[in-house]
Amino acid sequence: MTKTWFITGSSSGFGRLLTEKLLARGERVAATLRKVHALDDLKAQFGERLWVASLDVTDTEAVRRVTSRAFDEMGRIDVVVSNAGYGLVGAAEELSDEQIRQQVDTNLIGSIQVIRAALPHLRAQGGGRILQVSSEGGQITYPNFSLYHATKWGIEGFVETVATEVAPFGIELTIVEPGPAKTSFAGGIVRSTPMSLYDNTPAGDVRRALETGSFAVKGDPVKMVQAMIDCADRSPAPRRLTLGSDAYDRVRAGLSKRLAELDAQQSIARSTELDD
């Protein structure tokens, strides 16, 4: 059955690929992005099946207004994809206050407000799906990505909680955790002003890997997007969708290490109960 999708951050990367693939298979897409002309070619090809609106997710009032208009004009939206976001690279003390605020406003608060704006409409129509694009970086960390990880770990906690709140209304949420993929993500990365004292540290190693292009990127974005689309047809919806062999291995190793550390502290945890 044909679905209607609402996708933020549709001008490039996963958002653009999702829009292209969904339209090609006959579905309808409400696409939002900051520069609407970036989808002129798709609009010319697919006409009324592509609804386009300008949206900066850091503008909360605009998020509510555009989301409401999309639901009103499309009639029903089956799947909401909260995808808008970008990377910020730099050791924690290298980052400026403005860079920190913009990263949090976009990746975390922006994603929260997209989901919040969609919930009343999904509830009113009797349910639907939300895919929140996170990252393997919502489960593990790399030096130099502290603020990016803060937003991804934060949005994952938000989605985990909301999923339990709205399940009675037939609304299901999935956190999508891709590993590094050959998209335009790297081109949109914002970089701090490096401090030389970090040159010979893990942060410096990651910075050089990004600068030289030696940072391993194995993910096929087309296959990842197809997995996202397929996920929307699965019932019940998986809480997480990890994409990429490297992402799977790193997330599994990270979770195993955390579980081992937790188990090692079991006696300490149990010793801190109130006495009977």
Which residues participate in catalysis according to the annotation?
134, 148, 152
d(CA 50, CA 209): 39
Contact 28, 51 (CB under 8 A): yes
Contact 29, 45 (CB under 8 A): no
**Residue 92 backbone dihedrals phi, psi, to 5 degrees:** -55, -45
Closest by CA to 225, choosing from 268, 186, 181, 193, is 181
Q: Identify the sign of the CA torsion 143, 148, 226, 44.
A: negative
Query: At a CB cut-off of 8 Å and minimum separation 6, what does 142 contact?
Result: 149, 206
Closest by CA to 55, choosing from 136, 123, 139, 117, is 117
